[in-house]
Amino acid sequence: MSGRRWAGAAFAGALLAAAPAAVAAPTPGADPPPLTQTRQDVQRNGCLKPSDRPADAPSWSQRALRPEEAWSLSRGAGVTVAVVGSGVDAGSPALAGRLQLGPRLYGTGDAGRDCVGHGTFAAGLVAGRSTVDGGASGLAPDARVLAVAVTDDAGSTTPDLLASGIRAAVDKGARVVAVVVPVPGASDALSEAVTYAAAHGSLVIAPVAPDARGGSSAAVFPASYPGVLAVASTGPGGPAGGTLDGRVDLAAPGEGVTGTGPGGGLFTASGPGCATAYVAGTAALVLGLRPDLTPEQLVRRLETTAYRPGTRLPDAAVGYGTVDPVAAVTASWPAAAHQTAAAADPVVVTPGPDRSGTWRALAVAAGSAGVMVLVGFGGLTVRLGRRRGGV
């Protein structure tokens, strides 16, 4: 088995004294506002108001992932990542010059309007830049973000709308399609859209649950379809929300994450939707270096370079581990990149630098930020089974 082992529940339990001074816990009372727009919020107060907190520092999760260590090889240039969700604020300073508007398939206005803020937040995690110093605040700062809006002002959508959104993203050249709003129902159109994406060389990435789940055992889509990379969320203390019926492909930081919202400013959000954005950003880094990869090969690369949970793979809570942008770009490549491996027997990939100690230290420092809820789509979990191809 390759990759670094991840400490699981002990992730935040040790090395408090080792936490670097530069990564201090947030000042009490100074936390940015949460993205918690519900239908009732929209009806009473209208769309999300800009935050008065400047986006002056990267999230704890950005510091833990350390994508800058991979930027000498790839910053995601030449890769389009579609964010299929509530839209992306066209006036977002963090995405200036890198945002392309696709269609709005539901709701008011165009894809550059984001009433709940969910899509803008996710896009910032993929490719945002700081409005204070111009530095990167997303994993793949040179990638292009394609906004595809498929929800109404409260963030609601349908399987068929998601299907249309995926197809539109693929037709506009997106190699990575981040569907950040899962739905509880399946449809033939959605299943066919996932197949369409794979046939055109695009990888669909989706959360294993909504960003506000309450314990339901129902599956969500499109993550439950074969061919979709299903992503769970982790926090400073480990996997968020316990196991998700053992059907997760990858995990990424998603709890207590800070990032940009509509109109600029800093917000806090939590959930698998945030984690999905981080995995999409990592995929963009890999494709920026190796644009020849098929979706199956890209999935294998992300899985075999992830932080391992130290359990039988796939792990019930984190799948093949927590995504590692640095190792995904810098680890040695197998001699035959097209070789296929069984899902239960990962291809051996030389590990990148071991940063598990940094993860633990950063997690402890950030733990006091707490866990905030993102968009209230209801409580769901997921069942996913599928074959994987490989690098």
Q: What is the CATH number of the domain that holds 17?
A: 3.40.50.200
3-state secondary structure of 256: coil
Question: How is residue 313 annotated by DSSP?
Answer: S
Task: Report how far residue 65's alpha carbon sits from residue 250's, in angstroms, rounded to the nearest whole number.
Answer: 14
CB atoms under 10 Å from CB of 184, counted, come to 15
- Which residue type is seen at 356? S
Q: Could you say which residues of the chain have pLDDT below 70?
A: 1-30, 36-37, 55-58, 131-136, 213-217, 241-246, 335-391
In a domain, 167, yes or no: yes
In a domain, 94, yes or no: yes
Task: Report how far residue 265's alpha carbon sits from residue 51's, in angstroms, rounded to the nearest whole number.
Answer: 5
Tokens representing 82 are: 């579609």
Alpha-helical (H) ranges within the chain are 39-45, 60-65, 118-127, 159-171, 188-199, 272-289, 295-304, 325-330, 356-366
Considering the chain, what percentage of its residues have pLDDT values greater than 90? 54
This prediction's pTM = 0.80
In a domain, 168, yes or no: yes
Nearest CA to 289 out of 78, 138, 108 is that of 78
Q: What is the largest CA-CA distance in the chain?
A: 59
Domain that holds residue 86: 8-27+34-330+339-369
In a domain, 309, yes or no: yes
Q: Quote the pLDDT of residue 55.
A: 62
Q: Quote the pLDDT of residue 57.
A: 64
Q: Total structural domains in the chain?
A: 1
